[in-house]
Chain A
């Protein structure tokens, strides 16, 4: 394994160097950087050209310039742009927003895409499967900039107007309830009667809930409250235990998960002062502590026999409970955020990655970046979402037709164990490589999305550089983007080799 990783690293390094050379030659030739200077009146022209030539080393041959760039880049100096500003400083300023956007889009696309893909494969050729397939194809074919503009012009404005007076019309309530009811009933296997019952109960339940929320003006000042948090945490514990080891209320796994949920609920009270305005570091620390405590709970309650499943279920439940508490805090901060003098009741923003000069509590700042991220992320992740869904579905179906899955069924394993232990584990192996392929597409999509939403981030950094024929910012962009692609490809290869011994040993 170590030789494999070493070999992979060595190859990646050379590939990256070769790509940087190609990129440099292209970047230098993309446009004449002196074209503006040449248009100056006679007196200033020579001086301007001489200054630019000196600053950008235009009098050196391309390869000499490449090695000068490389030598500087290796020491961490990315040079200056045409105006003489330090590229390092510009990069540091533009970089965080893009990373936020890319991370949000990747994580959401992976989670939603894989979940939907798995469900779609488990219900092959059902109404759900056909709908998912069709929607995925539409997502493949949507131009990012078109969707982005639509979201910006209609969704943002309408949503903000609605949030000013958040009441749901009866038709909207009916529509949402019916869609959710249909989705729930189509996930079920069973005869028509069960499905109709599930459809009826979910639709009516959902409609009542929405009506109550709308009537109490919950959307204007949202929050979950301790009862809902507790119920959700317990439901999460039951669901995770069912996934990990099957539905059995007496099993140690279930007890461990429920204990994790209980500890989480108690902590949401006990940590009240800490959670009022935490720093990001505190939050990360809390996540680590949660995992640690849940590990201990699972270890202790699970005993010799159920240790593994108890630890998994407890950690999943703990993190889930944490996420619910996090959501609750965010929702509670919403009313104050929305009323803030810089927001003025329009929380869904369409320009830039954050409100300039906005300052508030940790939760308000999170809400601010969330309000700015939500539409660009939606526009950006559509394509990736479709790719993950289709790929996961195909991979799952391929595995489901394997002989060992038939063997697993034949020896009497229940469907849950077949799916989670045998199909899911092997079906997800090819999906790991997809993350690497997808990152390149996402970076391209981010450049376009940022243009649509007027973000001053990496995308603008690149497009401005191409328009001006300025090679240093282009190379800086390449270092980050190409570096990410090489890194993800390498991680995917190593992960693949780790998960599938046939690759490693051949």
Chain B
């Protein structure tokens, strides 16, 4: 998600504001002022601000860790992972299925740092719970990514068209948005997921994306409304550029900040939406599992085998929290005005 140093400068100021700096040498000495002036592209500025945001950095590391753990440990499809147990194979219950993961070192009076045979314990039929949770994390992440991408794509196109064309197009598109908002998201999602969920998790993700794009559409429309009045759009129009080309080449690169932030926030919301739906029984259907389903399945085991309930919850929180922090860091990086210190 690191913003790359693109050739075309992007950012809130529009191409006009940063275009000049790209042609300057990387470093030049300003003799009159007696100090070094370093020219940076808009992309570099954004990246610098992002990496200075401590929460975002920690979030990024945490998210990368969860992503790596989920994808490499039990593998994906036919690709094998480094963890030797599968989420479907059952085995003999060892020590009542208690987790063998130890995090307290011995010199602090704990049981020592250990990974053990079943780090997250075993469930009631002897499956390795680490493998099960990893499978659930994979599914939840996949659905969340799909929802984030679909919702942002739909929302961006609808918002950009509504903001750029105004008039009838805007009226119709924004009324469609209003209609979508009127049905409570969870209810809409539950209905759509029950209809589409039988087709598998990919369809589930895409269809959930089709009911959660409204926030992005409104945000993008707001940005486009102000951008379309800018001089560079007028210039493009005056040389006869087509509307589609203006939207995709001139306006959308300038709302990229809003869009990227909205992708991350949509992903964080989607993790919670999918797990909530699965908790109610309308999301991921067996034999697939997800973090939300795991919590429903083992809610009643809470008092006797609490670890079955804790691990999925901890992973949901870890994903949602880290993605939210990344989103916050990106927003600050793309729109530093909000962060200005009061004087």
Interface set of A (CB-CB < 8 Å, partner B): 11, 14-16, 18-19, 22-23, 26-27, 29-31, 124-125, 134, 137-138, 140-146, 149, 153, 394, 397-398, 400-401, 440-441, 443-445, 447-448, 451, 462-463, 466-467, 474, 477-478, 481-482, 485-486, 489
Contact = CB atoms under 8 A, between A and B. Distances in A.
Contact of A143 (B181, B183, B275): B275
A481 B184 contact: yes
22 contacts: A15-B179, A15-B182, A19-B183, A124-B342, A137-B328, A142-B317, A143-B276, A143-B316, A145-B296, A149-B299, A401-B342, A444-B184, A444-B186, A444-B276, A451-B280, A462-B187, A463-B280, A466-B191, A474-B187, A478-B183, A481-B187, A485-B181
Contacts of A27: 191
Contacts of B188: 26
Nearest to B340: A401
Nearest to A439: B184
Interface stretch (B81-89, B146-154, B240-248, B318-326): B318-326
Nearest to B171: A11
Contact of A394 (B55, B182, B321, B338): B338
Contact of B295 (A23, A146, A467): A146
Q: Which residue, A15, A18, A394, A397, has most C-beta atoms of chain B within 10 A?
A: A15
B307 interface: no
B292 A477 contact: no
B175 A18 contact: yes
Interface string B308-343: 010001001100110011001000000000101110
B324 A137 contact: yes
Nearest to A149: B299
Contacts of A451: 279-280
A145 B175 contact: no
A19 B276 contact: no
A11 B183 CA distance: 16
Contacts of B292: 143, 145
Contact of A141 (B175, B185, B186, B321): B321
A184 to B, nearest CB: 23
Contacts of A441: 185
B78 interface: no
Interface residues of B, number: 45
A114 B281 CA distance: 35
A149 B302 contact: yes
Given A23-B183, A448-B186, 10 more contacts: A14-B175, A15-B182, A18-B175, A19-B180, A26-B188, A143-B292, A145-B276, A397-B342, A440-B184, A444-B187
A451 B282 CA distance: 13
A16 B180 CA distance: 10
Contact of B187 (A141, A144, A149, A478): A478
Nearest to B306: A153
Interface in B256-281: 268, 272, 275-276, 279-281
Contact of B181 (A31, A125, A440, A447): A440
Contacts of A141: 268, 272, 316-317, 320-321, 324
Interface in B275-304: 275-276, 279-282, 292, 295-296, 299, 302-303
A153 B186 contact: no
B320 A140 contact: yes
A467 B195 CA distance: 11
Given A143-B313, A153-B302, A18 B184 contact: no
Given A145-B295, A149-B302, A400 B181 contact: no
B320 A482 contact: no
B281 A467 contact: yes
Nearest to B291: A143
Contacts of A397: 338, 342
Nearest to A469: B194
B305 to A, nearest CB: 13
Nearest to B175: A15
Contacts of A445: 186
Contacts of B12: none
Contacts of B282: 463, 466
Interface string B187-222: 110111011000000000000000000000000000
Contacts of A149: 295, 299, 302, 309
Contacts of B299: 149
Nearest to B272: A143
B117 interface: no
B22 interface: no
Contacts of B275: 143, 145
B211 to A, nearest CB: 10
A11 B292 CA distance: 38
B298 to A, nearest CB: 10
Give 9 closest A-B pairs by Cβ, nearest first: A444-B186, A141-B320, A19-B182, A141-B321, A146-B313, A26-B191, A15-B178, A443-B184, A145-B279
B182 A30 contact: no
A195 to B, nearest CB: 20
Given A15-B178, A19-B183, A448-B186, A30 B191 contact: yes
